[in-house]
Chains A and B, each alone.
Chain A
Amino acid sequence: MPDEPRDRILAATVVCLGRYGIAKTTVDDAAREAGLARATVYRYFPDGKEQLIAESITWAVAQFFRELAVAVADAPDFPTLVEQALTHAHRAVAEHVVLQKVLETEPERLLPQLTQSAPQVQAVLRDFLAAKLRDEDLLPGIDALEAGDWLARMGLSFILAEGRWDLTDPESVRRLVRTELLVSILQPAALTG
């Protein structure tokens, strides 16, 4: 469990969301789960439950992408990084117990919160990808920031829904990344590895 009281409270709230749902989780539940006094929770989240829920969902989203960054940290090259990111993120969404439970029982409460954090997620992912792309051999006329924006959008789109692609199949992911998504961005030599 995280050491900082703030993180500890947010992590505990996420646990409660999985157990009781968004509507029924209370500040008391979060305090008990975090092993802290109710007053401590209010010191960090003075607006109470609403603030606590909203910030805990944002925290969980950030946590999801922190873990994603760790999962792809050792990728030997950019196409492999994108492949690993799609594979990991797809599995992480499917296996995210709290997310799946709340999606099933209270989508009307969860989705507006997720939609609100979408622009921030998009911006962070875009900048992360653009920084990596600046070290790559890009096709003529391709701008790293624009390409990062595009890839972040498509990446999030596939994490949300795989459509006709099978993201559990490495060959399918490889094809999607190397013969579709990156063909317009990287030099052909970079895609064959």
Chain B
Amino acid sequence: MTAPAAELRLVDADAPAPKPGSDVEDRILDAALVLVARWGVAKTALGDIAKAAGCSRATLYRAFPGGKQHLFLALGTRELATYRRGILDAIDAADELGDALTRALVVAARLLHDHDAAQFILEHEPELLLPFLGFHQVDLLYRETATAFGPRLERFLPAEQADRAAWAAEWAARLFITYLFNPHERRDLAVIDDTRTMVHTFVLPAFALATASPRTP
């Protein structure tokens, strides 16, 4: 099951706005999501998905002619687009950089925490995440995060510091990944006070300096 994942971009700045799938496609993907949350990707068979969605296998194959890989690629794309939109909305609702980074991190943590299928995979099928989170892949993830979220952070920085918006996004992505794989004994990114304290204590001072002296070396 690594092939479809390899075509999936966790953060894809160039992705077209997701076109709404047909009702039947969405119903099938919703059913697949419930089954993955319970049994995982490997054990979820197309027949089970069709049954849960209340459609025939023929209908399922008409919607996803490529079979299981096609279906799970569509599911991953849909779920990631929703995830990305949730984070962008959080950034857009903020009024300064610290607030934007805090909101983005809290929403990213909560959406992931509440996503039962993602939680099952993290716990039981982490090998499915390797195409994203190996050494070289995580490097790509940081660059893509910077490209996808950086532009939305630019409005919080002085015009001559626009380039630092991408760095702010990368920094937040690093923070997210370290807390995901190496949880802190007491701090939790889903808790707004924890995240705000972290962002304000350790990230923002670097941006205050940049604002004060635009001619960084």
Interface of A toward B, CB cutoff 8 Å: 93, 103, 107-108, 111-112, 115, 118-119, 122, 141-142, 146-147, 149-150, 153-154, 156-158, 160-164, 171, 175, 179-181, 183-185
Contacts and interface: CB of A to CB of B under 8 A. Distances in A.
Contacts of A150: 198, 202
B178 A163 contact: no
**Which secondary structure characterizes the binding site on chain A?**
helix
B196 interface: no
A119 B182 CA distance: 6
A157 B177 contact: yes
B208 to A, nearest CB: 8
Contacts, number: 81
State the 8 A-B residue pairs at the shortest beta-carbon distance, nearest first: A161-B139, A184-B205, A163-B142, A153-B178, A157-B174, A180-B206, A183-B206, A161-B138
B146 A163 contact: yes
Given A153-B174, A161-B135, A184-B205, 18 more contacts: A103-B135, A107-B134, A111-B133, A112-B127, A118-B181, A122-B182, A150-B202, A153-B182, A154-B178, A161-B136, A161-B138, A161-B142, A163-B143, A163-B170, A180-B167, A180-B171, A183-B209, A184-B206
A138 to B, nearest CB: 12
18 contacts: A108-B130, A111-B134, A115-B181, A150-B198, A153-B174, A153-B178, A153-B182, A154-B178, A160-B139, A161-B136, A163-B170, A164-B143, A164-B170, A175-B217, A179-B206, A181-B206, A183-B205, A184-B205
Contacts of A160: 135, 138-139
B185 to A, nearest CB: 9
Contacts of A158: 174
B184 interface: yes
A108 B174 contact: no
A164 B142 contact: yes
B194 to A, nearest CB: 12
Contacts of B203: 184
B166 interface: yes
Interface residues of B, number: 36
Contacts of A103: 134-135
Nearest to B197: A146
A49 B126 CA distance: 23
Contacts of A185: 202
A97 B202 CA distance: 35
B166 A154 contact: no
Contacts of B201: 141-142, 146, 184
Contact of B167 (A146, A153, A164): A164
Contacts of A146: 201
Nearest to A141: B201
Contacts of A108: 127, 130
A111 B217 CA distance: 37
A171 to B, nearest CB: 8
B22 interface: no
A146 B210 CA distance: 24
Contact of A163 (B126, B133, B135, B174): B174
Contacts of B135: 93, 103, 160-161
